[in-house]
Structure formats: C-alpha cells, structure tokens
Amino acid sequence: MYREVNDVTKTDVDKVPEPTPMEETPKEMTVLDKLAAIVTEERASDSELERVVYSGDPSSLPQYHYRWKGKYLADYVARVENVSEIEGVLKVAREHNLPVIPRGGASSCMGSSSPSRGGISLDIKPMNKILEINKEEMFIRVEAGITFERLEDEIGKQGLTLGIYPSSAKSAVIGGWIACGGRGGIGTPYYGSLREHTLSLSVVGGDGAVQVVEGDEIDLFLHSYGILGVIFEVKLQVHEIPSAYKTFSYEFDTLENLCNAMVEVSRLEIKPLYLKIADEELQKYSNPISSGKFVLSATYIDAQNKVPSNELNSITEQLGGVNLGEEFSEKEWDLRYDAEFNPKEHTETLMFQELWVPIEKVYEMLSSYESYRRSHRIPALWFGMLGTPDAMRLELMTMINADQYLKFIASKGILHKMVKKAIKVGGVPYTIGLQNSIYMTRAYPDRLVQMQEAKEKWDPEGIMNPDRVTSCLTSFRRIDVLFNLATAFRRLSKYVGK
C-alpha cells in the first residue's frame, strides 16, 4: 500500500537503522592514473593530439594506406626521466598486457617506433644527461635519450668526439641508433661502427630486470628495434676531436663512372669520414649542380697524411669527373644533416627504402632503379652514403602525391623489387621496423633465430614492440603478389591510356 511521508509513524522511524558512515570503496586506478603516479601528470597522457604525435614518423603514409589506423595509434604516452620510471611503466604494461614502444627521435622511419597494437609510447628523450667524461681512458657515459648533435657539442668543448653519428644527428638519440644497428653513418668508414664504440649498455628488459650488458650480448641489442627491453644508459669510446675537415666534390655524366670512382676512392688506404653519392634530382634540393648528372663528395680529416688529394684527383680525372670547387664542397659538408631529407619539404609523401649493399654492387642496383624510373615514369631520386669501406647505405626515394594512387602503389612495388634485388646481390634492407620485418626470413635468417631466442629470454610476456624483427604483420608472399600486380598495372596503364 502506498503511504505518504506524513503517514510514517514514530514506530516506523524507530525501525530505520542508524545510518552507518559510508565505507570508502577504493576507486580503481585507470592505466593513465597509474602512469601519472609513476612519471607525474605532466609526463603521462592519453590526449588524442599526443597519441597522434607520438605514433608517427617521417615515413608515415597517406591516411588511406592505414586500413586499421586505430591500431597504429598509441593509447598512452609516457615520458620517462629515470630508470625507476621505466621499470614502473613496464610493470603497468605487464599488468594490463599493453605493448610498450620505446621512442627516441623517431627518425629511423619504417614504422620502427610506431605502435601496431596501441599500447604505451615510451619517450626516452627526457633522459639526456652526460653522466661521465673520462679523458684518461677516453670513454663517456651518457643517458640513452641524448641527441648526437648535443652530445657532439658538449664533449667537443672538452676536445673529444664520438666521431660517428647518423646524418639525422639533430633528432636521433644514442639509444635509438643502437637499437637500429648504427652500422653506417658519418664517420663510420673512418672510425668504425657504433658497435665498435659501445663498451656497455644498461637496460631494463621487458621482464623488468635491470642489467648491464657487456661483450657479445651487446650484439643482441644492436639492431633489436626495442623488442627486448629499454636501453637507458650507454658507455662509449671517444676520440680526440680533429681540428679541421676537408671536402672534395666531383660531378659525373655517367652512373657507371660515378660508381667506379666511388669504389676506387673507398678502397684507398686513407678512409673518408663521409663519402656521399647522389643524383642531380636529390642534389636539386640542397646544393644543385650545374651540368653533370651525378655527384660524389668525400670528406677527410684535414691533417698531414689524412687527405689523399692526389689519388682523388687522379681517380676522378680518369673517370671523367669534374672538380666542383671549394665553395660547393664546403657546402656539401655543411649540409650533411639535411641533404638526404630536404626533398621531403617539397612533396606530400616521400616514400623511400634504405638498403645496405656491397660497394661493388651499387652500380647494378642504381642502374636497375634508373631503369624503373624511366619505364614506370616514377618521380625517383636517390642518395648513397659509405658505411664501411665495403658497404654503402643506399636511400632510394620517390616523391608522390597521395591522390596519384597507381603511381603511389607502383612506387612501393618498385621499392619492394629493389629490396629483392639487393638480397640477391648480397645486400639487405637497412632499417627493419614494422615495414621491413617481412624480409627477415630472406635477408637475416640466422639473426631471426638468434633474436627469437633472445626475445624468449628478455621479454617472455611479449610486451616490447610487437610485430617487428621476430614477427610481422603480414607475409612476404602476400606483399609480393600485391606489388607485382601493382607494377604490372602501372606498366599496362601506359598502353591502355588513362
């Protein structure tokens, strides 16, 4: 029976139990709350803007390319300042089964530091201190998030240099280059690779264990793309800084002469710090040449017995090279950070593929690329940088607008054919990341097995950077069929009209 409030009798009221003080049910912490508690609120985020910014890289493709774009966005961003914060973030990730994507300057491209299943983008750049400079034993200890540009500036004040850095030195950080292998950069033909400079690494494994890695185990972390754990500190060998550099530049009319000159110069006893080759298309965006079609520039330490000027002049003269003079040459060295990527400012999408090729095979590779450029009429350009005295890092690019769909997909197809060709002639894709993991079985079969074992040991729960190196999002065969069709259509389209 319905009763009005006034009907409530005294006895009813007496029956109502005294309210007990409300028991506080603890509010369950969200992932973001937990991250904020570890790295502070300012350095943890799930805002859309930050998630987008922390998920891309310079090789990002037009939107329509990402059919499942959502997966390519991080769910959270955490910027870490010390090792206990890294440990804390990894613990949260394990609790919630979230992937962790370590991120430096994001310059390695190929989706290396982009998520594939959401998760936490872990920005290592706030860890950027120089911890020790030891001039007696010629080593430094640094945090993994320091950029090469800042590192060289700081230790340069003490008369030291690491001597080697990627040409992306303004944004790339030490931890990022180690995770990418650090094989070929400015200085490596002369001083040796980053592996040869790395004395030890401090890491937090995916399982949370903090360890100092030395000796052969360092090799696991070189070229590991963050799939084993997070590198937070590095001990590196350093050199005395040279007082001056000297660059020589030559232009050539034929690709064959350019490549022959490159091979002969690379074989000279005195090695360059930097040896670059490029076509006139790429050169147009930094230091244009007047009449030749191809450029070779070589930089040496400017000191007695360190500059093979006579040999350079005689090699290039015999092969029809024309000296481009001091002003042009100095500009080549000054532009070493920018030349490779300047075209990106002039196109919607700069599509590219990086290959590591024996120097004797560079001519064969570039001849193929030149003939694809002509037969498929794609806007191609290229750049090569000597990495070791025997191998060159080749960057093959095309400048594409997203609305040119057939050209776009055919360009991707041609870059795929170039990877297959590189593997055939004894080369490999240089950067692996998300995009090139499909080539692991063909290009790095032994490394694949080694990394699968290491993954079991260092990251048994599989939270670190999934879908690269030891596994991939799609199969080689599927991509192969797709790109063969795409290039065939592009060829046909020439005959059947628009």
Q: Segment contacting ligand FAD (CB under 6 A): 173-181, 287-295, 324-332, 405-413?
A: 173-181
Q: Are 203 and 221 in contact (CB under 8 A)?
A: yes
Q: Are 427 and 357 in contact (CB under 8 A)?
A: yes
> Of the two residues 116 and 316, which places its CB atom closer to ligand FAD in the complex?
116
Q: Are 358 and 159 in contact (CB under 8 A)?
A: no
| Residue 467 in contact with ligand FAD, rule: CB under 6 A | no
Strand order in the sheet with 210-213: 130-134, 139-143, 229-237, 198-205, 210-213
Among 155, 179, 355, 381, binds ligand FAD (CB under 6 A): 179
Among 35, 78, 98, 105, binds ligand FAD (CB under 6 A): 105
Among 54, 225, 444, 458, binds ligand FAD (CB under 6 A): 225
Among 184, 272, 343, 466, binds ligand FAD (CB under 6 A): 184
| Residue 106 in contact with ligand FAD, rule: CB under 6 A | yes
| Residue 175 in contact with ligand FAD, rule: CB under 6 A | yes
CA pseudo-torsion sign 181, 183, 187, 190: positive
Size of the site for ligand FAD (CB under 6 A): 36
Strand partners, 380: 398
Place of tokens 């000159």: 261
Residue number of the CB atom closest to ligand FAD: 176
Nearest to 354 by CA among 376, 332, 382: 382
| Residue 316 in contact with ligand FAD, rule: CB under 6 A | no
* Residue 301, phi-psi category: left (phi > 0), alpha (psi -120 to 50), beta (remainder): beta
**Restricting to residues 363-402, which ones interact with ligand FAD according to CB under 6 A?**
385, 393
Distance CA 202, CA 129 (A): 14
DSSP-based three-state secondary structure for 46: coil
> Of the two residues 235 and 393, which places its CB atom closer to ligand FAD in the complex?
393
Quote the strand ranges of 217-283, DSSP E. 229-237, 239-240, 245-252, 274-279
Give me 129's structure tokens: 């201190």
Among 89, 92, 231, 378, binds ligand FAD (CB under 6 A): 231
| Residue 463 in contact with ligand FAD, rule: CB under 6 A | no
What's the CA angle centered on 214, arms 209 and 219, to 5 degrees? Answer: 95
DSSP-based three-state secondary structure for 226: coil
| Residue 185 in contact with ligand FAD, rule: CB under 6 A | yes
| Residue 144 in contact with ligand FAD, rule: CB under 6 A | yes
Mask for 262-301, x = binds ligand FAD (CB under 6 A)? ----------------------------------------
How far apart are CB 299 and ligand FAD at their closest, in Å?
13
The contact set with ligand FAD (CB under 6 A) reads 58, 101-109, 112-113, 124, 144, 166-168, 171-173, 175-177, 179-180, 184-185, 225-226, 230-231, 340-341, 385, 393, 465
